[in-house]
Amino acid sequence: MNCSITLEASKERPIVRRHPWVYATAIKRVDGQPKAGATVQILSQDGRWIAKGAYSPLSKIRVRVWSWSESEAIDHAFFKRKISTAIQHRQQWVRGTNAIRLIAGEADGLPGLIVDQYDRVIVCQFLSAGVEYWRDAIIGALLEQTRCTLMVERSDAAVRAREGLAEQSGILFGEHDGEPISVNEHGVQYGIDVLGGHKTGFYIDQRDNRRMVSELSKDRRVLNMFCYTGGFSLAALQGGAKSVMSVDSSGDALALAQRQMIMNGYSPELATWHDADAFATLRELRGAQEKFDLIVLDPPKFAPSAQHLERALKAYKEINRAALQLLNPGGLLFTFSCSGAVSPQHFEQMIASSVSEALGHMQDEATNYRVMQRLAAGLDHPVLASFPEGEYLKGLLLQRT
């Protein structure tokens, strides 16, 4: 059955120019009764064919484009091709690790699909009606092309509700003894809890930034706020940090981090782990006039959507100002936001105002902070140039003069 949607004339341009989302407000008419996830043809107001995509009746993002080629069928072979292309791309770009994002949604032409590989384990998230509709085809293609021993689904993300889908997770293939999956990233062994951890279990996107922290940690006193399972903490220990203080409010994540520290053979006396609120801890450290040479601030998503932007920016500013004040002269701050609603411009403005507030509290006229580098997710998290919204992780490396 051939269902179609017709776009409002004023809303055609982005779709023609390869933006993969059609908002409900851009649709003038729906012909046929497309089911959730079914393929619809996307037409211009005067009936020209533009693209085809997956219909999602409840989402504000009503259609996500699969293809701009009229002759390309959306079938099992389509998913096999897309998955194979994505995997080849990673083989070309990713080195030094066996924790890799194999499929990054829109950037790989598969809107709503996230697939991460941890050694021989595959973890998938089906986050849109379209990929849910084709899940068997996708799972089949992944099994065939990755030769994994275990496949886990972690579609327990809140965004599923916006697509009218219930959260779902569990084992799709193979058996799992519950032990963390061990991966090696640039010589550090990380343990991944694929069933109980955040998202798919690990923040693969921070790989290059972990490496940079490792390279810059020698003899430094390091503070890792929002440390989760200790990604940046272990990188700092690998790099020869003098000490590493790590803070997170998740006891389970901290327990896994400590286990991994031992597995890697790092001396436990160099590290302290604190199950605490980051905001309160930053205030206490300030009160105690503690100082650090390298600080990592990688908080959770403070702005789940644009509505939360203002409040989120306040929270980002509070922790960044505090962290800037905790730096020794010459000290480094790696600061991040993974909120899609916070643009790189918002982020940099927020940092500029955190810096001016931090400087306002200081007596020393010679102090300033320099932006040394802009930071982003690794090469296995590409962003489509026609879809800048896909860039969610942004960060800055600042140095106190």
Residues that bind ligand SAH (CB under 6 A): 203, 206, 226-229, 231-232, 247-250, 253, 277-279, 298-300
Integer Cα distance of 130 and 110 in angstroms: 9
Cβ–Cβ under 8 Å, residues 362 and 370: no
* Minimum distance of ligand SAH from residue 34's CB (angstroms): 37
* Minimum distance of ligand SAH from residue 232's CB (angstroms): 5
How would you class 220 by CB atoms within 10 Å of its CB: exposed for 0-12, middle for 13-18, buried for 19 or more?
buried
Residue type, 159: V
* Minimum distance of ligand SAH from residue 120's CB (angstroms): 22
Nearer to ligand SAH, 27 or 379 (CB): 379
Using CA atoms, how far residue 149 sits from 176, 177, 182, in Å, is 9, 12, 14
Residue type, 284: E
Integer Cα distance of 353 and 124 in angstroms: 39
* Minimum distance of ligand SAH from residue 233's CB (angstroms): 9
Nearer to ligand SAH, 212 or 278 (CB): 278
Closest CA to 271 of 246, 249, 292, 247: 246
Nearer to ligand SAH, 162 or 274 (CB): 274
236's tokens = 């700092």
* Minimum distance of ligand SAH from residue 256's CB (angstroms): 11
Nearer to ligand SAH, 193 or 389 (CB): 193
* Minimum distance of ligand SAH from residue 343's CB (angstroms): 20
Strand 271-275 and strand 243-248: pairing?
parallel
**Helices and strands (H and E) in the chain: how many:** 11, 20
Integer Cα distance of 59 and 239 in angstroms: 46
Nearer to ligand SAH, 136 or 277 (CB): 277
Cα angle value 204/67/124 (rounded, 5°): 30
Nearer to ligand SAH, 66 or 202 (CB): 202
Integer Cα distance of 28 and 11 in angstroms: 10
* Minimum distance of ligand SAH from residue 281's CB (angstroms): 7
Integer Cα distance of 393 and 139 in angstroms: 27
* Minimum distance of ligand SAH from residue 227's CB (angstroms): 6
**What is the Cα gyration radius of the chain?**
23
Cβ-proximal residues to 49 (8 Å cutoff; 6+ apart), any chain: 41, 42, 43, 70
